[in-house]
Structure 1
Amino acid sequence: MADDQGPLKRKPGFATLSIHAGLNPDQWNGAIVPPIVLTAMYKQPSNGNLGYTYSRTANPMRDTLEQCLAALEGGKHAFTFASGHGVIMSVLALLSKGDHIVSMDNVYGGTGQVMRENLPRLGIDLTFTDVRNVRNLENAIQDNTKIVWLETPTNPNCRVIDIAATVQVVKKRNDNIIVVVDNTFLTCYLQRPLDFGADIVVYSLTKYVNGHSDVVMGAAVVNKQEIADNLRYVQESHGSVPSPFDCYLVNRSLKTLSLRMERHKATALVIAEWLEKHPNVIEVNHPGLKSHKGHEIFKRQTSGHSGIFSFKHSGGLEESRKLLMCFKVFLVAESLGGYESLVEIPAVMTHKTVPQLQKTKLGITDSMIRISIGLEDAEDLIADLENAFKKTFINK
Structure 2
Amino acid sequence: MLKRSPHDVVVIGAGVVGAACAYYATLAGLRVAVVDRGPVAGGTTGAGEGNLLVSDKEPGPELDLALLSTRLWRGLADTLGEAVEYEPKGGLVVASGEAGQDALRAFAAEQRTVGVDAEEIPGDRLRELEPHLAEGLAGGFLYPQDAQVQPALAAAHLLRASGADRFLGEAVTGLLRGPGGAVTGVRTDRRELPAAAVVNAAGTWGGELAALAGVELPVMPRRGFVLVTEPLPRIVRRKVYAADYVADVASGSADLQSSAVVEGTPAGPVLIGASRERVGFDRTLSTEVLRRLAAQAAALFPVLRTVSVQRAYRGFRPYLPDHLPAIGADPRVEGLYHACGHEGAGIGLAPATGLLIAEQLTGKEPGLDLAPFRADRFSKGTE
How would you bin the TM-score normalised by the shorter chain? under 0.3
**Which structure is higher in RCO with an 8 Å CA cutoff and minimum separation 6?**
2
More helix by share: 1
More strand by share: 2
Provide TM-score, normalisation by structure 2.
Answer: 0.23
Provide TM-score, normalisation by structure 1.
Answer: 0.22
